Amino acid sequence: MVTDNFSEKLTPAARQTLEEILSDYRDEILVSAAYEAARMTGEMREISVQDIVNGAQRMARKSRMPPRSAIDKILPLYAVLGILSSMAGFGIYALRQLANNIDASQQLPLVIVFVGVIMTAASIALIYLRKTGVLTPEFRDISRNEDNELFAKYLVTWRNIEVAMRNLASSKLGESVAQEPIAFLIERLQKKDVLSVDEARAFKKLLSTRNSVVHGEQSPATTELLKSLDQARTLLYRIQHAL
C-alpha cells in the first residue's frame, strides 16, 4: 500500500502520536456505539456492527456542527417563556370572560382544565429545553446515555490535549523526547517552565480522569466530569497557544 511508504517516514514521536490518536478515536467510537446500543431501550446488552457504524457516523456529524454560543442556548428559553406567557395571559382572559357567563358550579371544572393545559405546556417546554441543552447539567437528571455522551466529549478533548502536548514537547524539548509517555512530558515541560506547577498538577489530574473513563475504574461523578471537561478545554487552549 502507498501508506506503507508514509509509515516508514514517521519519527518515533510521530508514530506514538498517531497510535494514541487512533486509540483514542477507537475509544470515542466505542462510547458513541454504546450510546446507540442503549438508545432505544435504555439498556446496553451488546454492541452490534450497526451500533459501531451509527456511532462513527454520529461522531462525524457532531464534528461538523459549529459550536453553540450562549445566545443560541438562551434564545430557545426566551421563545418558550414567551409562548407560555402568551398562553397564560390568553387563558386568564378567556377564563374571566367565561366566568361572567357561567354559574359558580361550572367555574371549578373550567379552572381545572385551564391548570391542566398550563401544566402540559410547561412539561413540553421543559422537555424541549432539556433536549436543546438550555437547562444546565446541574439541574438535569442525567441518564446513563447522557453520561456516555459526556465521556465521549471528554475523550475528544483529552485526545486533542495529547496531540497538542506532544507538539509542544517536540518544539520545546526535541522530537526524540516527544515520543515519551504523556505523564513524563508533563514533568519535563514543567521543569522547563513551559508549564507552571499548578498546570502540571491539573494535567495529571485530567490524565487520571481520562484513565478512569477509558478503563472503567470507578467512573467519575457527572458534576466532577463536567468540571474536568471545562478545565481540560481551558488548558488545551493554553498549550495550543504556548508554541
User: Last residue of a domain, which of 116, 138, 160?
Assistant: 138
Q: Are residues 47 and 34 in contact, defined by beta-carbon separation less than 8 angstroms?
A: yes
Domain that holds residue 86: 70-138
Task: Write down the pTM of the prediction.
Answer: 0.54
Q: What is the rounded CA–CA span in Å between residue 198 and residue 55?
A: 36
Q: For residues 45 and 216, which has the higher predicted lDDT (pLDDT)?
A: 45
Q: Do residues 134 and 152 share a domain?
A: no
Is a pLDDT exceeding 90 seen at residue 205? yes
Sign of the torsion formed by the C-alpha atoms of 112, 113, 118 and 122: positive
Q: Do residues 235 and 147 share a domain?
A: yes
Read off the C-alpha cell for 143.
441518564
Q: What is the rounded CA–CA span in Å between residue 164 and residue 240?
A: 6
Q: What does the pLDDT look like over 179-193, one tens digit per residue?
A: 889 999 999 999 999
Residue 212, in any domain of the structure: yes
Q: What is the rounded CA–CA span in Å between residue 79 and residue 85?
A: 10
User: Last residue of a domain, which of 115, 138, 161?
Assistant: 138
Q: Do residues 150 and 125 share a domain?
A: no
Q: What is the rounded CA–CA span in Å between residue 200 and residue 235?
A: 10
Q: Do residues 151 and 228 share a domain?
A: yes
User: Last residue of a domain, which of 138, 167, 198?
Assistant: 138
Is a pLDDT exceeding 50 seen at residue 26? yes
CB atoms within 10 A of CB 129: 18
Q: 86-95, 99-108, 133-142: lowest mean pLDDT where?
A: 133-142
Q: What does the pLDDT look like over 27-69, one tens digit per residue?
A: 888 888 887 787 766 667 788 887 888 878 777 776 665 555 5
Q: Do residues 232 and 173 share a domain?
A: yes
Is a pLDDT exceeding 70 seen at residue 106? no
CB atoms within 10 A of CB 86: 10
Alpha helices in the chain (DSSP H): 2-8, 12-38, 49-64, 70-99, 104-132, 144-172, 182-191, 197-215, 222-240
